[in-house]
Chain A
Amino acid sequence: MNVSTSRKSVVGAALIAVLALTLSACGGSSNTASSDSTIDCSTGTIKASGSTAQKNAIAEWVNAYQSACPGATVNYQAVGSSAGVTDFINKQTAFAGSDSVLKPEDQIKADERCTDSEAIHIPMVGGAITLAYNVAGVDSLTLTPDVIAGIFNNSITKWNDPKIKAINEGVTLPNATIAQFHRSDGSGTTDNFTKYLTAAAPKVWKLSNAKEWKAEGGQGAKGNDGVAAAIKSTDNAIGYVELSFAQDAELKVAKVDNGGGAVEPNADTAAAAIGKAVGEIVDNENNIKLKINYTLKDANTYPIVLLTYEITCQKGLTGTDLALTKSFLTYSASDAAQAQLVEIGYVPITGDLLTSVRKSVSSIA
């Protein structure tokens, strides 16, 4: 008897520890349930799934939406973009969250799922990928695309490499080996980061882009939180993590100079880059597939950004799925909801793009 109870209590304690860790990992979901009177509420339950990158943003919105709209439940499972798209195609969910636009063959399947209409992309959550570092005595660091690519393909291995020194005059860089961290799991962050390297540093980065890390050298860690923790606990470390994770771990982040001056990553500078993304598809203006321009040289524009979409049916949803999806996405595209993103380290959609997003949401029927 004693044994079984003590076993249980150990398991219980362990579970509590796990819960505490999970909660702290989710950090930032500050219950800002400002009962927004402007929400056009709907009721019922819908399921959605997909991207882990937008997990905290959706969680924040679901909190606010559900507390303003009693009787409504939005159940978003962060299972990953690919799994989310599969769930949506199999009619398990009302919308999918995805880090990237559908491949042509998936677009065809998704259109079939939407019976006689089109599955549309609605860009809803932006993010910035920062180069977070932990080097004692270095409080300001500027990097160029070629240097970033050099660090991550292991051709630059020392912090006092002449190439880094040349762009950081006045900064004392130690004669230490760079401890480079990347993601060990498949991830949209890696995909977007390597897209940036491919576009902005084509002479140094030859590996193209992928969700898996392909370069040699460095160390892999699991998840944005894993990479952030690894940088924090390792001297002379650098790695790429999304802005919110760098903020939560209180890491120093490098400025990036794409050729138009060093730019600090924050919600404003990243929003500027996302606002300059251009449409890829023109046949249906409500299906907003965007191409991010990673080589922007504009002032106050941080170039390493990512964009996540909600994918749903323009027509073809029915009943609760239709009403609640439209109501929830309308709220997500509101000024209040987009402003919430900034507080938790995401990047809002702004300007003309936000106008098109709202038009796209209102076209759901």
Chain B
Amino acid sequence: MTTLINPEAPVGAPLGKSSRPRDALFAGISRGSGIVVLIVMGAIGVFLLWKALPALSANTASFLTTSPWFPDDAQPKFGIAALAFGTLLSSVIAMVIAVPVGIGVALYTAHYAPRRFAPTLGYIVDLLAAVPSIIFGLWGLQILMPNSIGLWRWLDDHFGFIPLFSNEQNIYTRSIALAAVVLAIMILPTVSAISREVFAQVPPGHIEAALALGATRWETMRTAVFPFARPGMVSAAMLGLGRALGETIAVALILSATFKINWQVTEPGGNTFAANIALKWNEAGTIGLGALIASGLVLYVITFAVNMAARLVVERRRDFSGAN
């Protein structure tokens, strides 16, 4: 988990040049393992592309800008516009909820909570990660959905002038907003566990120095803890985002699964890449399977891009972090 903070692995040149046979063997094995990972990643990409191409060439609509998903019609017509929109929107809303809460929980357990109590609280949050996602889905559907209708209606009544919260259908179930809340709870342990690890690594000297200079608790956090931990917090958020982007069954159970780009997040509807694959795979025809694989390829690329972006952010911030 800390590899993102300190990615400069002190291996490489010296090992390869070593004359001792055991070192050479070890270097060979580790290089081989690295190459295998690259081959597997490449093979997944090639496999997806190979399976997707026939469907993509049969598509009568633009794959990137079309919303409907009717690949098994006589005239196959499908595109990822609505899927990409729903995936990104639900994940971003989940992040907006989960990242502040997760970092708050981590900060509390690492620096505020009483010593005896802190580890227990940390474990309890971590336990959320052990709950299977279908349980989150069923909970969202049977407990959260009926009990959150009042909240969504209140948002519509009072903040309906913001397009995001308005609800023209006056139906407040099976929405992107509901799925995002469930996603937020699911990624909370990821965000909080990693942030907690990072906060715990802040050198005590920094904190003591800040306190000695007369800083309050909050000023200490701002001047000593956050700058040190910022790259770690970014990676925590990005790992959480990665999980939210790919979450399948909980979202598939909750969403009403429409293929429309709709900003009104409290209305029923929306769909995501992973949920759509789970919902359509069983009964998809030849073109349908290829189309789903093509959408999987897009998710693969998006997830890859998110991870790369996270690494870039971490790299750029490192100089200012005060770490190392």
Contacts and interface: CB of A to CB of B under 8 A. Distances in A.
A and B pair up:
yes
Interface of A: 3, 6-7, 10-11, 14-15, 17-18, 21, 52, 79-83, 103, 177, 179, 184-188, 210-212, 214, 216, 219-222, 226, 229, 233-234
Contact of A219 (B126, B173, B253): B173
B283 A210 contact: no
23 contacts: A10-B131, A14-B135, A52-B282, A79-B282, A80-B283, A103-B285, A177-B170, A179-B171, A185-B257, A185-B280, A185-B282, A186-B280, A186-B281, A188-B283, A211-B283, A212-B70, A212-B280, A216-B258, A220-B174, A220-B258, A222-B253, A226-B253, A233-B142
Nearest to B173: A219
A79 B123 CA distance: 38
B72 interface: yes
A21 B130 CA distance: 19
Q: Of residues B123, B130, B170, which shows the largest number of chain A Cβ atoms within 10 Å of its Cβ?
A: B130
Nearest to B258: A220
Contact of B70 (A6, A185, A210, A229): A210
Contacts, number: 94
Contacts of A216: 258
B134 interface: yes
B259 to A, nearest CB: 9
B284 interface: yes
B127 interface: yes
A222 B288 CA distance: 18
B132 A18 contact: yes
Contacts of A179: 171
Interface in B254-279: 255-258, 268, 278-279
Q: How large is the interface on B (under 10, 10 to 19, 20 to 34, 35 or more residues)?
A: 35 or more
A233 B70 CA distance: 30
Contacts of B256: 184, 219-221
Contacts of B130: 7, 10-11, 14
Q: Of residues A21, A81, A186, which shows the largest number of chain B Cβ atoms within 10 Å of its Cβ?
A: A186
A176 to B, nearest CB: 12
A212 B132 contact: no
A5 to B, nearest CB: 12
Contacts of A103: 285
B112 to A, nearest CB: 22
Nearest to B124: A6
B252 interface: yes
A18 to B, nearest CB: 6
B288 A186 contact: yes
> Which A-B residue pairs are the 6 nearest by beta carbons?
A80-B282, A186-B283, A184-B257, A185-B279, A220-B257, A220-B256
B73 interface: yes
Contacts of B289: 82
Interface string B67-101: 00110110000000000000000000000000000
Contact of A14 (B123, B131, B170): B131
A231 to B, nearest CB: 13
A221 B252 CA distance: 9
B146 interface: yes
